[in-house]
Amino acid sequence: MTLLKKPKTAVPAIFAIALIALSIVGFSYAHWSETLWLSGTVRTGEMCAEFVPPITTTDHGNDWTCDKGLINVRQINKDIGNSTARSIDTNNDGCNDTIIVELNNVYPCYYEHIAFWIHNCGTIPWRIWRVIFNPGGIIRYGPGYLQLDLNGDGVNDIEIYWGDNFGWQVDPCEKIDISFDIHILQPFPEDTTLPFSVTIEMVNWNEYPPP
Amino acid sequence: MKMDTKKIMATFAILMIALGIAGFAYAHWSETLWLSGTVRTGSLCLEWSFDAVLPPSNLKDLDGDGYVDDPVATLTYAFTDADNDSCNEGLTVTLGNAYPCLNVNGTIDIHNCGTIPAGIAKYNYTITDPDGVAGGIELINVDFYLIDPSGGKHLITMPIENWIATVNQIDPGWSLACDFEIHFTEATPEGATATISAWIEFWNWNEL
């Protein structure tokens, strides 16, 4: 009899026990956690340009000459001067970054035409932005004619016509052909070695400022 | 008739006895209450979502096939569900062949795919950048906001660290999202690689 009545009186106790159990359960589940993770990698590309063969000169026998202004180019009947052009890797990175041009035993009115290829050996397209001629720091943003005073005596010793391909987009693995004319002017002193340099600057294709 | 009266009285007596017996039997009326208890716990679940684009100018005809459809830089991303709970708890993003002046626009999103509000309890990150790529990355724009289940955006106007310190609650079905735009400056080094590894630990909101 007593047992049969117990269910009535046990209900609140069951609730109490359930609440205690829930609170214990709730306590045990506290600090649920979920973790997200992120892995990010940024690899930058490489802009690379190199001279590649063929690097050609015009004088392979009788010399060439022209009139001032690099006009009326013609071959003459003597093999007096000679020219060479070769590429070298000055920083040993596996890319030929410099062309050594040597004009030997040349004389006023001697003419040479030098052609070469520039190859995109990187992963980013580039464009030729400008060419800087020294001495004088003359900057050209497009093809054209200029004169250089190689010994600083106030008179120009050579004249150059630099060819095209400024601004042309060169994609990775592509190459472009560039050439220039050089003409020895009358004031060039005898029996003298005078250097000049040309620096070709490329920019990644998307930052080329049109002239 | 008198006999009938006796019979009736006897019948009543028997009936009363029977009822008494029955009454005794029914005297222990009982009422049973029962309790069926079920506890269903909620689910604390968060997952990544990510989307980013490179600018159209990033496409060039690199293979010379006449179609301007080859990307210069590349962007890939992949999700990982290591515990097979159908939620992407891992995100791997790789930006390759990046270059100066490249812009990347994207959205990174943490979605509450569970039933319990969650908040950020801990986070940490490690950057490996031996060549200084980070020095060439400029944050053009970073906006944090919450996205409700219907897609409505609710901009977080306070600094995100303040939000974490105060509000820090992503309700079920909501997302914490970040729109970003990064720019690679001229200081970006060539041929370099930088990596970031990060983790975020979430707790149920009431325990934060």
CA distance B99 to B186: 9
Nearest alpha carbon to residue B74 among B93, B61, B88, B48: B93
**In-domain check, residue A84:** yes
Show the tokens assigned to B43.
């689910």
When pLDDT is cut at 50, 70 and 90, the band that residue B60 belongs to is confident
Whether B164 and chain A come into contact, CB under 8 Å, resolves to: no
Question: Which amino acid, residue A155?
Answer: V
Residue range of the domain that includes A75: 49-207
Residue range of the domain that includes B94: 46-207
**In-domain check, residue B79:** yes
Per-residue pLDDT tens over the stretch B155-192? 999 999 999 999 999 999 999 999 999 999 999 999 99
B176: phi then psi, degrees, rounded to nearest 5: -100, 120
Q: Is there a contact between B35 and A11 if contact means CB atoms under 8 Å apart?
A: yes
CA distance B108 to B74: 18
Show the tokens assigned to B192.
């370099």
pLDDT at position A144:
94
Better pLDDT: A11 or B6: B6
Nearest CA in chain A to B190: A46
Three-state SS letters, chain A: CHHHHHHHHHHHHHHHHHHHHHHHHHHHCCCCEEEEEEEEEEEECCCCEEEEEEEEECCCCCCEEEECCCEEEEECCCCCCEEEEEEECCCCCCCCCEEEEEEECCCCCEEEEEEEEEEECCCCCEEEEEEEEECCCEEECCCEEEEECCCCCCCCCEEEEECCCECCCECCCCEEEEEEEEEECCCCCCCCCCCCEEEEEEEEHHHCCCC
Q: Is there a contact between A35 and B64 if contact means CB atoms under 8 Å apart?
A: no
As beta bridge partners, residue A50 has A119
Number of structural domains in chain A: 1
- With a CB-CB cutoff of 8 Å, which residues 15-74 of chain B face chain A? 28, 30-33, 35, 37, 39, 41, 44-48, 57, 60-62, 64, 72-73
pLDDT at position A12:
60
Task: Please answer whether residues A39 and B197 qualify as being in contact, where contact means their C-beta atoms are separated by less than 8 angstroms.
Answer: yes
**In-domain check, residue A2:** no
Q: At residue B77, does pLDDT exceed 90? A: yes
- Chain A residues within an 8 Å CB radius of B111: none
Average predicted confidence (pLDDT) for chain A = 89
Cross-chain CB nearest to B73 (options A18, A39, A45): A45
Mean pLDDT across B62-67: 82
Q: At residue B44, does pLDDT exceed 60? A: yes
**In-domain check, residue A17:** no
When pLDDT is cut at 50, 70 and 90, the band that residue A2 belongs to is very low
Number of structural domains in chain B: 1
pLDDT at position A184:
96
Q: At residue A14, does pLDDT exceed 70? A: no
Show the tokens assigned to B158.
């306070």
Instruction: Supply the CATH number for residue B197's domain.
Output: 2.60.40
**In-domain check, residue B180:** yes
Mean pLDDT across A125-150: 95
CA distance B18 to A208: 115
DSSP output for chain B = -HHHHHHHHHHHHHHHHHHHHHHHHHHS-----------------EEEEEEEE--GGGEE-TT-SS---EESSEEEEEEE-TT-SSS--EEEEEEEEE-TT-EEEEEEEEEE-SSS-EEEEEEEEEEE-TT-GGGGEEEEEEEEEEE-TT--EEE--S-HHHHHHHT--B-TT-EEEEEEEEEE-TTPPTT-EEEEEEEEEEEEGGG-
**In-domain check, residue A14:** no
Question: Which amino acid, residue A54?
Answer: P
Cross-chain CB nearest to A123 (options B93, B97, B195): B97
**In-domain check, residue A21:** no
Show the tokens assigned to B177.
């999202």
ipTM of this complex: 0.76
- With a CB-CB cutoff of 8 Å, which residues 102-141 of chain B face chain A? 102, 110, 114, 116, 118, 121, 125, 133, 136-137
Give the range among A3-7, A186-190, B83-87, B187-191 with minimum mean pLDDT.
A3-7
pLDDT at position B83:
87
Q: Is there a contact between A37 and B100 if contact means CB atoms under 8 Å apart?
A: no
Q: At residue A1, does pLDDT exceed 50? A: no
Cross-chain CB nearest to B193 (options A41, A47, A122): A41
Q: What is the pTM of this model?
A: 0.75
- Chain B residues within an 8 Å CB radius of A8: 31, 33
Nearest alpha carbon to residue A185 among A99, A65, A46: A65
Closest Cα in chain A, distance from residue B161 (Å): 18
**In-domain check, residue B115:** yes
Q: At residue A98, does pLDDT exceed 60? A: yes
Angle at B124 between CA B118 and CA B129, to 5 degrees: 140
- Chain B residues within an 8 Å CB radius of A35: 89, 199-202
Nearest alpha carbon to residue B55 among B99, B2, B3, B116: B99
pLDDT at position A3:
45
Closest Cα in chain A, distance from residue B11 (Å): 31
Q: Percent of chain A having pLDDT more than 70?
A: 86
**In-domain check, residue A79:** yes
Question: Which amino acid, residue A56?
Answer: T
pLDDT at position A4:
45
A49 burial (CB, 10 Å; 0-12 / 13-18 / 19+) is buried
Per-residue pLDDT tens over the stretch B95-126? 999 999 999 999 999 999 999 999 999 999 99
- CA distances for A78 relative to A59, A109, A158, A182, angstroms: 11, 13, 21, 18
**In-domain check, residue B35:** no
When pLDDT is cut at 50, 70 and 90, the band that residue A179 belongs to is very high
Task: Please answer whether residues A51 and A121 qualify as being in contact, where contact means their C-beta atoms are separated by less than 8 angstroms.
Answer: no
